[in-house]
Amino acid sequence: MNTAATKPLTDPETLTACGPMAGNWIIGDDNNAVILNNQARPVDVLAWCWGELVAMRSVLRMLTVSDTDIDPNVLYEVVGHHMAPLPEILSAAIDRLISDAKQEGDAP
C-alpha cells in the first residue's frame, strides 16, 4: 500500500516560501503569509522551486542585455529574496522522495 499521498512533506514543521525581504513585517515564526503546503507532492514542490530558479535566471539574463547600471545591492536583494527559501524546501522534497522510495523498495 502506497501511503506517500497522505504522508506530510514536512512533519510537523512549517517551511516558509517567504524570502528575507518580507522578514521585517513578520511577527514570530508562525505568521508567514506564504508557507509550503506540507501535503503537496514532492514533484509539485520541485516544480515550484524550478519556477523560482527560472525566474531568477530571467532576471540575470535581463541584466546581461541591459545598458542600465544596476546597483549590485539591489540585485543581491532581488535574487537573494527568491533563493533564500529554496535550500530548505528542496531538502524537504528530496527527503520525502527518498523516504517514499525506501518504503516502496526502490532505494537501498
Residue 71 lies in a domain: yes
* One-letter amino acid for residue 64 of the chain: T
Tell me, what's the pLDDT at 107? 60
**With 60 as the cut, is the pLDDT of residue 54 above it?**
yes
Residue 8 lies in a domain: no
Residue 1 lies in a domain: no
Domain, as residue range, for 85: 20-103
% of the chain residues with pLDDT over 90: 25
Q: What is the pTM of this model?
A: 0.74
Residue 2 lies in a domain: no
The number of domains in the chain is 1
Q: What is the mean pLDDT of the chain?
A: 80
Structure confidence by residue, pLDDT tens digits, 74-108: 888 888 888 988 999 999 999 999 988 888 886 65
Residue 51 lies in a domain: yes
